[in-house]
Amino acid sequence: MNGKGGVAMGMQTYGSALIGLALLGGATGGAAAAELNLYTTREPGLVQPLIDAFTKASGTQVNTIFLKEGLAERVTAEGDRSPADLLMTVDAGVLVDLVERGLTQPVRSATLDAAIPETLRDDDGHWYALSMRARALYAAKDLDLASITYEDLADPKWKNRICIRSGLHPYNVALTGSFIAHHGAAEAETWLTGLKANLARPAGGGDRDVARDITGGLCDIGVANSYYVGLMRSGKGGPEQQAWAEGIKMILPTFRDGGTQVNITGGAVARHAPNRDEAVRFLEYLVSDEAQAIYARANFEYPVNAKASVDPLVGEYGVLKPDTIDIVEGVAFRKQASELTEKVGFDG
């Protein structure tokens, strides 16, 4: 297996955790107290509860740098003097890119292997999934629809009834990449053409806009990530979005010959990690029952640890059965997926 890619140098930091972290100047080390340096593209509000819980349980201080963009570029620029111990990203493609750039190192852990399915971790131990989000289907609450396949989205019966964000957005590129992995490029092109013909409006906006437009009667169904349902239903998006969520139901589609397409948040130990052992301990903590429950409560994602429970706001829509193909197989076809999306003029 492999991993994926980063972005630009736009960088934000947060919290007093940055105090004492060497920036571009060389590896930290020699500190009496156990510590580790985390570089992450996860939003601070989502990852901080996990950091706090780990520090409380272990006594290890976690120094954190939040990078909205440019994770791979940052670590590459720092070279072998990088203080980064653990790299945490929100996309499988970014993890693959980190591996291909030589920015990670292999880890062997019975704890990680026991908690994480083979299809959600690197064959050589370079990265591990920590949580999952499904590419789900939103549907009008009163629509007589209990199940659907991704292939069905191109069925003419849905003409002028589907809403979706840009086909070139990473969420949809990942879905199309998985479609290619299942059925090949020619069938994927036909599918994209059929899906485009079924759109009720031009592809665009965000996933929450899909819920808005279904509630507003513009479309009957739409493709969107699962965790947005929890965020909207919980009221974290405000009363307007809560009303959108009340007007829809969520269905977990599958491929005809597989399961539901998922993307992941994942972690990898940095190649030159000065605190490697602590980084591995943090990874192992992140797949524990306790940490997986924190993930579920904080961001309504699905745990990778089968023993952990999903938040009820998402879990009531059914049990997630992740796709049967290795997640990296879908990643391998993302470039081709983008090219096909442009070829059919999906966003036009």
The secondary element (H helix, E strand) that includes residue 52 is helix 44-58
Residues 6+ apart with CB under 8 A from 328: 1, 2, 92, 96, 122
Q: Please check if 227 is assigned to a binding site.
A: yes
Q: Taking the CB of residue 185, how many other CB atoms lie within 10 A of it?
A: 15
**What secondary structure letter does DSSP report for 326?**
-
Q: Taking the CB of residue 67, how many other CB atoms lie within 10 A of it?
A: 24
CA distance 31 to 299: 33
* 347 burial type by CB count under 10 A (0-12 exposed, 13-18 middle, 19+ buried): middle
* Closest listed residue to residue 138, CA positions, set 81, 197, 222, 55: 222
- What is the separation, in whole angstroms, between the first and last Cα of the chain? 35
CA distance 285 to 59: 13
Q: Please check if 228 is assigned to a binding site.
A: yes
Label residues 266-305 b or e (16+ Cβ within 10 Å = b).
Answer: bbbbbbbbbbbebbbbbbbbbbbeebbbbbbebbbbbbbb
- Give binding residues for Fe cation as ranges: 227-228
- Give binding residues as ranges: 227-228
